[in-house]
Amino acid sequence: MMRNPLRWTGCWMPSAGSLGLLGMMTALWPVSAVAQAAAPTEGFGDGPKLVIALIALAWVILAGLKTFSASMRTKGVRLFNWNKVNAVLMVFFLVVFMLFVLWQFLKLMKFTLPISASAHGVELDGMLSVTFWITIAVFILTQVLLFSFALAYRQKEGRKALFYADNHQLEFYWTVVPAIVLTVLVLYGTKVWREITQVQPAKDALKFELFAYQFGWQARYPGADGELGGHDFRLISATNSMGIEETDSAGRDDLLVSEITLPVNRPVLMKLRARDVIHSAYMPHFRVQMNVVPGMPTQFYFTPTVTTKQMQEITGNYNFVYELACNKICGAAHFNMRMKVNVVTDQEYTSWLSKQRYYFRRPEPAQDLLSAR
Ligand SMILES: [Cu+2]
């Protein structure tokens, strides 16, 4: 009797596949090592390596079994019902994967942001968690259905597949239900976004300006008049890096600061300008982000509600500081674009302000601001 050469090729295929997979895993090994080195504080130890090793081992055993059972079949012995094995493995995969997702959540939760440090951020967080829980529910439901159907409706001896061309009622529901859910989410998002961006700034709002350049930030506060002076990019020079109009009386008492300091519970109007390319002012703890575009001034209006000291207590991290970062990859030293942000009490703010220096290079700190206020 002639052996079917194709069958022999088939026997070897799982082994070739497993070799390929092992090769891929060996190639990916350093990637997982780098990922661990880059992890914020704690790595995952040997966990990922162990998981990869277990998957590889399972693959090798299965491939071996498959080869062995295929060779037995040529002798007329049927060792396994592979349809059933595959279907059961599908459900096994579902359970393991869901446990992995849960483990990831528990493990990585500590890297998520603490409570919002701004008034509008609370509503933004609420919107995100509604979206998140809906997504999680749909994810679990669809995955459980997908994998359990693979088991329930696997090929069986004597069972004929049902030919099912279409079902308009079913199509109607799977189109209309997601459409309604998405419309609700989008309208909810639009409402929150309008509430954040379409508000009239309060009269007593504190104004300050952030100027982005490759690769850093400059921050300017108004002087005693509470108004920022005008600017013109053509005035940018070695001594006037932000291009402020010296002839504008509102700008002559402006202050150049090295850290952003904000009084708690006072509305802030943050004005944004860029010198060269597009940047993005990102203050994650305040849920603040706005593009900073050359030639197109933008702004963001918000109210900080938690002081740095309070946030240190909330997080239990006494080295905690708020931070401004650039959130657009704007060039080679993009990572360098960060600035410290302090949220303090009113008194601390006034005393901090009095120690800042005038933009137009007056030698003494702006002490006279205190008396003017
Ligand atoms: Cu940037």
Q: What is the DSSP string of 284-301?
A: GGGTEEEEEBBTB-EEEE
Confidence tier at 369 by pLDDT (50, 70, 90): low
Query: What is the distance in A from the centroid of ligand 1 to the CA of 276?
Result: 9
Q: Give the residue extent of every domain in the chain.
A: 1-32+46-80, 206-372
pLDDT of residue 265: 92
Query: What is the distance in A from the centroid of ligand 1 to the CA of 331?
Result: 7
Query: What is the distance in A from the centroid of ligand 1 to the CA of 361?
Result: 26
pLDDT of residue 18: 47
Q: Return the higher-pLDDT residue of 175 and 225.
A: 175
Instruction: Examine the pLDDT at 203 and tell me if it is beyond 70.
Output: yes
Structure tokens at 167: 């079902």
CA neighbor of 306 nearest in space, from 338, 262, 347? 262
**Predicted TM-score of the model (pTM):** 0.70
Write out the H or E segment, with its range, that includes residue 178. helix 168-197
* Chain centroid offset of residue 100 CA: 20
Peptide bond into 286 cis (omega under 30): no
Q: Return the higher-pLDDT residue of 226 and 56.
A: 56
Query: What is the distance in A from the centroid of ligand 1 to the CA of 51?
Result: 38
Instruction: Examine the pLDDT at 1 and tell me if it is beyond 50.
Output: no
Structure tokens at 326: 């650039």
> Contact 251/225 with Cβ under 8 angstroms?
no
Helix (H, G, I), strand (E, B) or coil at 338: strand
Query: What is the distance in A from the centroid of ligand 1 to the CA of 298?
Result: 15
- For range 8-37, the mean pLDDT: 44
Query: What is the distance in A from the centroid of ligand 1 to the CA of 213?
Result: 7
pLDDT of residue 353: 86
- For range 271-292, the mean pLDDT: 93
Q: Tell me how far apart the alpha carbons of residues 45 and 43 are, in angstroms, rounded to a whole number.
A: 5
Instruction: Examine the pLDDT at 34 and tell me if it is beyond 50.
Output: no
Of the CA atoms within 13 Å of residue 119, those in its CB half-sphere come to 12
Confidence tier at 116 by pLDDT (50, 70, 90): very high
Structure tokens at 216: 């850093």
Percentage with pLDDT > 70 across the chain: 85
Query: What is the distance in A from the centroid of ligand 1 to the CA of 137?
Result: 37
CATH annotation of 206-372: 2.60.40.420
Query: What is the distance in A from the centroid of ligand 1 to the CA of 214?
Result: 6
Structure tokens at 39: 């992890």
Q: Tell me how far apart the alpha carbons of residues 149 and 141 are, in angstroms, rounded to a whole number.
A: 12
Query: What is the distance in A from the centroid of ligand 1 to the CA of 323?
Result: 14
Query: What is the distance in A from the centroid of ligand 1 to the CA of 217?
Result: 9
pLDDT of residue 362: 59
Q: Tell me how far apart the alpha carbons of residues 35 and 364 are, in angstroms, rounded to a whole number.
A: 49
pLDDT of residue 72: 87
Confidence tier at 44 by pLDDT (50, 70, 90): low
Instruction: Examine the pLDDT at 251 and tell me if it is beyond 80.
Output: no
Query: What is the distance in A from the centroid of ligand 1 to the CA of 142?
Result: 40
- For range 145-160, the mean pLDDT: 88
Query: What is the distance in A from the centroid of ligand 1 to the CA of 216?
Result: 7
Query: What is the distance in A from the centroid of ligand 1 to the CA of 320?
Result: 23
pLDDT of residue 201: 82
Query: What is the distance in A from the centroid of ligand 1 to the CA of 291?
Result: 10
Structure tokens at 306: 């938690």
pLDDT of residue 43: 60
Helix (H, G, I), strand (E, B) or coil at 120: helix
